[in-house]
Amino acid sequence: MIFRLVFCSTLAVVALFLHSCKSKQKSPEPVVQKKTTHPQKKKPHQVSSKSSGSDLERVLGLSSKEIKKSELYSFIQDWYGVPYKYGGCKKSGVDCSCFTNILYEEVYHQKLLGNAADIYKSVEKISLQRAKEGDLVFFKINVSYVSHIGVLLKGGYFVHASTSKGVIVSSLDEAYYKKYFHSAGRVKTHD
């Protein structure tokens, strides 16, 4: 009986730990090598995980010049298609919280620490109507706590590391993300 109770408790703790999007590393090692990718067939409101600049141009209404000029969109283009890896913090594999941490450090020169739930606790909560490009979006996916994070872009899109597709741009209007959307947040020093 005691063994069964300990076993069940251990299983619950392991499940909780594995369900949160958590980074194991705090200081990512950037990789200079850029992946060569080819566009794939896309679902509506979603940019392929094997995106090119033309996908960002088409979906977000940006010119290639605007992408190159923007630290944010250049960063996104550089990380497109990086596969998801739980606890990953490199271009060989990254999870949602580490991707957000790296983006914030390289684009906004601010450090965010911890997993999606930790970051959620540290930001100012704002309505989605008040949110602007660069603010954070949080999701509770099949759990009662924040388990996923992304960075808001123009036009209701956001960039994130999806468990199934890696680094991708998705629309907040997609039924899946509408269902699990929890809150928007602003890093207190982010303008």
In a domain, 11, yes or no: no
In a domain, 76, yes or no: yes
Q: The domain containing residue 95 runs over which residues?
A: 47-186
In a domain, 145, yes or no: yes
45 as an active site residue: the answer is no
How far apart, in whole angstroms, are the C-alpha atoms of residue 189 and residue 191?
A: 6
Note the pLDDT of residue 163: 94
Note the pLDDT of residue 53: 53
pTM of the full predicted structure? 0.74
φ and ψ of 182, to 5 deg: -115, -50
The one catalytic residue in 96, 98, 109, 182 is 96
In a domain, 134, yes or no: yes
In a domain, 191, yes or no: no
In a domain, 119, yes or no: yes
The one catalytic residue in 89, 98, 160, 182 is 160
Note the pLDDT of residue 19: 47
Mean pLDDT per 10-residue segment, the chain (191 residues):
49 42 42 37 42 65 85 93 95 97 96 95 96 97 97 95 94 96 88 51
96 as an active site residue: the answer is yes
In a domain, 9, yes or no: no
The one catalytic residue in 21, 89, 98, 148 is 148
What CATH number is attached to the domain comprising 75? 3.90.1720.10
Split into its structural domains, the chain has a count of 1
In a domain, 7, yes or no: no
Note the pLDDT of residue 32: 34
